[in-house]
Amino acid sequence: MILERMMKEEWRTQSKLYRGGKLALLPFTILILTYLGARLVTNFSTAPITDLGLLISAFGFFTGLAAGSIGFSSNDAAKNVLGDDNFIIFSSRTLPVRKSRLVLDFIVKDLAFYTGLYLLPVASAATLASTELAIYSAYMMGLFLVGLTLSLIAANSAVKIPSKLKLLTYENIPAEDAL
């Protein structure tokens, strides 16, 4: 139930950024442009196909980093960008559900959403353009998971480590001299 609402929320916020129904056309646009680009590179370029494969793999990694970067955004930062929207991922204090469950649902939602919206069109187009690129499409999916995981770990560490080491406390702030 929470996962379904997270998917709806992701679609709502993304479609708000991309002006409504145009978001539904994005996978088809990505598919066509990637296919044309891959055909041009594989048929008319002197660059080795491994260069295109590395580019596809890097796309997966950086998409994973971007998808997981929500951990760096606070509720206020998201509100400044998207307005008065309710983000389920920030609701672990008010919902009767564990934060670990919300994070797991968040990861599953990101896997499904970004795989369908970005990664599958790129993987399909690259494989259609050249069967040699199929292995790089698999690498792209794996590197997406690596990027997503690293981003979430970094976000979690950025919040927890300073507080555990007491690096950011009121005691560390120098008091100004009284007049």
Maximum mean pLDDT: which of 8-22, 53-67, 156-170: 53-67
Question: What DSSP string runs through 25-91?
Answer: HHHHHHHHHHHHHHHHHHHH-SS-HHHHHHHHHHHHHHHHHHHHGGGG--HHHHHHHH-S---GGG-
Looking at residue 56, what is its pLDDT?
Answer: 95
Tell me the percentage of the chain whose pLDDT exceeds 90.
32
Task: Compute and round to an integer the Cα radius of gyration of the chain.
Answer: 20
Looking at residue 126, what is its pLDDT?
Answer: 94
pLDDT band at 176 (very low <50, low <70, confident <90, very high): low
Looking at residue 105, what is its pLDDT?
Answer: 82
